[in-house]
């Protein structure tokens, strides 16, 4: 059996099974696809694919379905990601353009992606450690408290209230606050947060008197923000889509739902490095997922970022019986547009 013909038969089985959710037989392949071979040849090819562990008979019948290995070979041999239609691209632009705040942008992102793919969509909030500091604002709350507001290039905002021993609400205090604000921003602007912390440490060592208390407060606030980085959130939408095809989860949906309810698990899933294709899309199929409860699912992800820096991951999770070419295109398109928003 030639490799080219083997892939044609495997691709036909994957496409038919994704569309119908029914095991695929040789007669159906001949009726639906231009394979230009005899029925006997198709049966021989299917037998060889089964011997290689790429397809399997779910029960005693002439039909076969892809295995995880079959899906993997199919995805690896895709010549190109299916292009999205002009209408689909316009829908992404129109829907995401209306949001300004980060929470709203990411909420719209997962709602849009779950609608496009009819799967579960998930997006990781931008990582603080990979983000760029755009501005630090110092706001006196009272004569004993100061709010430190850190605005990242991704739109993420961190706020901390720190105690002060000086009244910064009027007179000399306001002047000292203005000087400190200027120096803090000059030291941190357009730097990654970890680099900004180092620069602030140097500034803190050089400062004296009143401004020293301010830079110490800013350092404490940023240290707290980094300590909370492990609690980075995720946004999720479309869980109900899993119930559209109960036959894809013949045993139970419970382990999948349990995993989706745990943000720590989702962050682990999104943070695992996976091979990406040239378009920056990665696909993990079945047991390739590091979470045992998700071995009946596939995860398609793509990174998004600000400038050249990837700050988070967006993707969809669904049954292994997934339209991989379309899903990969949709995830990539949404990740690309999300990156543009971060750079705006």
Please choose, from the candidates 256, 227, 226, 216, the residue with its C-alpha nearest in 3D space to the C-alpha of residue 240.
256
Burial 48-79 (b: 16+ CB within 10 A, else e): ebeeeebbeeeeeeebbbbbbbbbbbbbeeee
CATH code of the domain occupying 133-230: 3.30.390.60
The whole-number pLDDT of residue 272 equals 59
Q: Are strands 65-66 and 55-56 parallel, antiparallel or unpaired?
A: antiparallel
| Every domain of the chain and the residues it spans | 3-76, 86-127+233-343, 133-230
- The model's pTM is 0.79
11-70 pLDDT, tens digit per residue, is: 999 999 999 989 998 888 888 887 888 888 888 998 999 999 999 998 766 689 999 999
pLDDT of residue 14: 94
Which of 86-90, 147-151, 204-208 has the weakest average pLDDT? 204-208
Q: What is the mean pLDDT of residues 264-280?
A: 68
CATH hierarchy code of domain 86-127+233-343: 3.30.450.40
| Pair 324, 281: CB distance under 8 Å | no
User: C-alpha angle 275/281/282, rounded to 5°?
Assistant: 40
pLDDT, position 218: 80
β-strands 234-237, 120-124: how paired? antiparallel
CB–CB of 226/216 below 8 Å?
A: no
Instruction: Assess whether the region 3-76 and the region 133-230 belong to the same CATH fold.
Output: no
For the chain, give the percent of residues with pLDDT over 70. Answer: 90
Angle between helices 102-117 and 86-97 (to 10 degrees): 150
Q: Taking the domain 3-76, which CATH number applies?
A: 1.10.10.10
Q: For residue range 201-258, what is the model confidence (pLDDT) as tens digits? A: 887 777 665 566 677 778 777 777 776 655 568 889 999 999 888 788 877 788 888 8
């Amino acid at each position: 059996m030639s490799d080219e013909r083997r892939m044609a038969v495997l691709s036909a089985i994957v496409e038919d099974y994704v569309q119908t959710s029914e095991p695929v037989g040789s007669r159906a392949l001949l009726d639906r696809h231009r394979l230009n071979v005899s029925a006997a040849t198709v049966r021989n090819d299917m037998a060889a694919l089964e011997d290689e562990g790429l397809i399997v008979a779910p029960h005693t019948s002439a039909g076969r379905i892809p295995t995880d290995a079959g899906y993997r070979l199919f995805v690896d041999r895709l010549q190109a990601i299916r292009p999205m239609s002009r209408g689909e691209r316009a829908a992404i632009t129109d829907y995401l353009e209306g949001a300004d705040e980060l929470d709203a942008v990411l909420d719209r992102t997962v709602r849009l992606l779950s609608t496009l793919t009819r799967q579960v969509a998930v997006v990781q909030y931008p990582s603080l450690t990979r983000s760029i500091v755009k501005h630090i604002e110092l706001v006196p709350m009272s004569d004993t408290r100061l709010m430190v507001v850190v605005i990242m290039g991704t739109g993420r905002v961190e706020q901390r209230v720190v105690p002060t021993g000086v009244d910064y609400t009027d007179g000399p205090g306001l002047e000292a606050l203005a000087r400190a604000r200027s120096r803090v921003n000059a030291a941190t602007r357009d730097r990654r947060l970890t680099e900004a912390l180092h620069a602030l440490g140097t500034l803190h060592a050089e400062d004296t008197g009143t401004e020293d208390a301010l830079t110490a407060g800013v350092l404490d606030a940023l240290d707290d923000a980094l300590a909370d980085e492990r609690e980075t959130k995720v946004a999720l939408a479309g869980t109900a889509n899993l119930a559209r095809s109960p036959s894809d989860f013949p045993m139970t949906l419970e382990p999948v739902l349990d995993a989706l309810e745990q943000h720590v698990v989702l962050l682990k899933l999104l943070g695992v490095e996976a091979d990406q294709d040239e378009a920056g899309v990665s696909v993990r199929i079945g047991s390739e997922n590091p979470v045992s409860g998700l071995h009946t699912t596939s995860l398609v992800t793509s990174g998004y970022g600000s400038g050249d820096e990837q700050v988070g991951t967006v993707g969809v999770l669904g049954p292994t019986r997934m339209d991989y070419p379309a899903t990969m295109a949709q995830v990539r398109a949404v990740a690309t547009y999300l990156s543009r928003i971060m750079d705006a």
